[in-house]
C-alpha cells in the first residue's frame, strides 16, 4: 500500500510543479501559486515519511545560498523595521528556496524536465501573443497578463534564452517543433520590443551574445541578426527612438528616467557607507520606510539589484550573493562542457544565459521579486537537476 501511495504522491507533486509554472506566468495567481508550492512541499514531506527516507541534496550552491539567507535574517532582525523585513524574507527568500529545493528533489528525469518546459513555452506563447495584440489595440507599453511592462519585459528575458537554446538543439524529434519555436521566438522578441524596456533589451542582448558565442551556431547567429534587421525596418518609431537613447550617452542626465537613476544610485552608495556591514534591512520598500523625507526615495527602490542588496543587507550579504551566482554559473559551465546530450546541453546553456540576462536586466530595475524571482529559481532548479543527470540521466 505505501508504494502505491508514494506513486500517487509523486504524480501529485508533478502536477503541483506544472500548476506552478502556469501560475508564475500570469499575475493575480497568488492562490494557485501558494496551492502549488505549499501543496507540493506537503506531498514531498508525506512521501518522505512513507518511504522512511529523508533526502536533502545540498547541490553546488548550498553554502553561498545559506550564507546569503543568514545575512538576510541578521539584517532583518537588527535593521530599521524588523517586522516588515522578516515578513519580506518569509514571502520572498524562503519561498524561492522552497521552490528551488522542491524542483531539485522531485524532478528526476528528462521527460519531467520536458513537461515543465513545454508548459512554460505554451504559457509564454499566450503571454507574448496577447502582449502584441494589446499593443495594436491600445498603442501603449504592453504588460500582457503581467502586472506592468517591467514585469513583462523581465519575464521575456527569463524565457527567451531557454526557448532559443531548445529551438536550436538538434534533439527535436518532431520536425514541426523547430518552425513553431522559431515563430514563438519572433513573437517573444516583438513583445519584448513593445515593452520599451531598455534594461530588458540589454539583458536580452547579453544572453544572445553568450548563447551564440558558446554554441557557435551560425543558424542562431543568422536568426538573431534577422530579428534585428526586421526590428530596424519594421518596428514603430517609438521603439526605435527608445533604442537610440541607449547609445546617446550625452543625453543620459537629461533623460527623464535615466537621469534620476544616477541620482538614486549616488544616494544608495552614500547610505551604504553609513551601514556597510548589515544594511538597513531587506525589503523592496525599505528605502521609503527608512528615508520618507528624501525626495529620491519616492522612486521606491535602488533600481539596481546589487545596490539594493548592499543597501538592504550590507556588503557581506552582497558578497554572498555574488558568490552564489558565481557558484551557480561555474557549476552550469562545467556541466555544459562535460555533457554530451544535446537537449541537456541546451537546457543547461539556456538556464545559464537566463541568469546572466536577468542580472543585467536587474542592473537598471529592481525586479527580483514576486513571480519573476520565483520563476527564476524554479528554472535554476531545472537547470541544476538537468546538469546533475550528466550523460546517464533517465530519458
pLDDT tens per residue, range 339-363: 888 899 999 999 999 999 999 999 9
Residue 133 and residue 210 in one domain: yes
Residue 67 and residue 175 in one domain: yes
The DSSP symbol for 23 reads: H
Residue 16 and residue 85 in one domain: no
Write phi, then psi, for 394 (nearest 5 degrees).
-70, 130
Cα–Cα distance, 164 to 14 (Å, whole number)? 25
Residue 85 and residue 45 in one domain: no
Q: Which domain holds residue 29?
A: 1-55
* Closest by Cα among 244, 152, 255, 168 to 204: 152
Q: Is the pLDDT of residue 286 over 90?
A: no
Please tell me the predicted confidence (pLDDT) of residue 6. 87
Comparing 130 with 294, the larger pLDDT belongs to 130
Residue 125 and residue 221 in one domain: yes
- Domain membership of residue 257 (yes or no) is no
- Domain membership of residue 269 (yes or no) is no
Mean model confidence pLDDT for the chain: 88
Query: Which of 55, 73, 89 is a domain's end point?
Result: 55
Three-class SS of 75-88: HHHHCCCHHHHHHH
| Beta strand extents in 223-294 (DSSP E only) | none
Residue 70 and residue 41 in one domain: no
Residue 194 and residue 91 in one domain: yes
Query: Which of 55, 74, 95 is a domain's end point?
Result: 55
Number of domains present in the structure of the chain: 2
Residue 257 burial (CB count, 10 A): 11
pLDDT tens per residue, range 167-206: 887 666 677 788 899 899 999 999 999 998 989 999 999 9
Query: How confident is residue 394, by pLDDT bands cut at 50, 70 and 90?
Result: very low
Residue 10 and residue 78 in one domain: no
Residue 306 burial (CB count, 10 A): 16
Residue 129 and residue 98 in one domain: yes
Cα–Cα distance, 60 to 64 (Å, whole number)? 9
Q: Is the pLDDT of residue 231 over 90?
A: no
Please tell me the predicted confidence (pLDDT) of residue 392. 47
Q: Is the pLDDT of residue 216 over 80?
A: no
What's the whole-number mean pLDDT along residues 51-60?
Answer: 82
- Domain membership of residue 358 (yes or no) is yes
- Domain membership of residue 346 (yes or no) is yes
Cα–Cα distance, 93 to 63 (Å, whole number)? 15
- Domain membership of residue 364 (yes or no) is yes
Beta-bridge partners for 109: 394
Please tell me the predicted confidence (pLDDT) of residue 232. 67
- Domain membership of residue 265 (yes or no) is no
Please tell me the predicted confidence (pLDDT) of residue 253. 61
Q: How far apart are the first and last CA of the chain?
A: 27
Please tell me the predicted confidence (pLDDT) of residue 395. 46
Residue 79 and residue 145 in one domain: yes
Residue 40 and residue 116 in one domain: no
Residue 330 and residue 220 in one domain: yes
pLDDT tens per residue, range 104-147: 999 999 999 999 999 999 999 999 999 999 999 887 889 999 98
- Domain membership of residue 270 (yes or no) is no
- Domain membership of residue 264 (yes or no) is no
Query: Which of 36, 55, 74 is a domain's end point?
Result: 55
Amino acid at each position: 500500500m505505501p508504494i502505491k501511495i508514494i506513486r500517487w504522491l509523486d504524480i501529485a507533486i508533478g502536477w503541483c510543479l506544472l500548476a506552478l509554472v502556469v501560475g508564475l506566468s500570469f499575475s493575480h495567481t497568488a492562490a494557485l501559486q501558494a496551492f502549488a508550492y505549499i501543496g507540493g512541499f506537503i506531498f514531498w514531506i508525506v512521501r518522505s515519511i512513507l518511504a522512511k527516507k529523508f533526502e536533502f541534496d545540498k547541490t553546488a550552491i548550498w553554502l553561498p545560498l545559506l550564507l546569503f539567507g543568514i545575512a538576510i535574517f541578521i539584517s532583518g532582525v537588527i535593521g530599521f523595521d524588523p517586522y516588515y523585513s522578516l515578513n519580506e524574507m518569509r514571502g520572498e527568500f524562503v519561498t524561492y528556496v522552497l521552490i528551488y529545493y522542491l524542483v531539485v528533489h522531485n524532478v528526476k528525469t528528462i521527460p519531467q524536465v520536458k513537461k515543465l518546459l513545454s508548459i512554460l513555452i505554451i504559457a509564454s506563447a499566450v503571454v507574448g501573443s496577447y502582449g502584441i495584440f494589446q499593443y495594436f489595440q491600445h498603442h501603449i507599453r504592453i504588460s500582457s497578463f503581467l502586472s506592468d511592462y517591467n514585469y513583462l519585459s523581465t519575464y521575456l528575458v527569463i524565457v527567451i534564452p531557454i526557448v532559443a537554446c531548445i529551438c536550436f538543439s538538434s534533439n527535436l524529434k518532431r520536425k514541426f517543433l523547430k518552425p513553431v519555436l522559431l515563430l514563438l521566438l519572433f513573437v517573444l522578441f516583438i513583445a519584448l520590443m513593445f515593452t520599451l524596456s531598455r534594461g530588458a533589451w540589454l539583458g536580452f542582448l547579453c544572453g544572445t551574445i553568450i548563447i551564440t558565442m558558446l554554441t557557435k551556431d551560425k543558424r542562431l547567429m543568422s536568426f538573431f541578426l534577422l530579428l534585428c534587421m526586421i526590428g530596424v525596418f519594421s518596428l514603430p518609431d517609438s521603439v526605435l527612438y527608445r533604442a537610440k537613447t541607449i547609445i546617446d550617452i550625452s543625453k543620459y542626465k537629461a533623460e527623464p528616467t535615466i537621469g534620476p537613476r544616477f541620482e538614486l544610485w549616488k544616494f544608495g552608495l552614500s547610505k551604504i557607507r553609513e551601514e556597510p556591514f548589515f544594511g538597513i534591512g531587506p525589503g523592496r520598500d525599505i528605502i521609503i520606510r527608512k528615508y520618507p523625507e528624501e525626495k529620491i526615495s519616492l522612486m521606491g527602490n535602488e533600481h539596481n539589484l546589487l545596490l539594493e542588496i548592499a543597501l538592504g543587507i550590507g556588503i557581506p550579504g552582497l558578497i554572498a550573493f555574488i558568490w552564489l551566482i558565481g557558484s551557480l554559473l561555474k557549476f552550469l559551465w562545467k556541466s555544459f562542457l562535460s555533457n554530451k546530450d544535446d537537449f541537456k546541453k541546451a537546457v543547461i546553456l539556456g538556464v545559464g544565459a537566463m541568469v546572466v540576462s536577468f542580472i543585467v536586466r536587474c542592473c537598471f530595475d529592481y525586479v527580483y521579486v514576486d513571480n519573476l524571482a520565483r520563476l527564476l529559481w524554479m528554472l535554476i532548479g531545472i537547470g541544476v537537476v538537468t546538469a546533475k543527470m550528466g550523460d546517464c540521466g533517465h530519458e
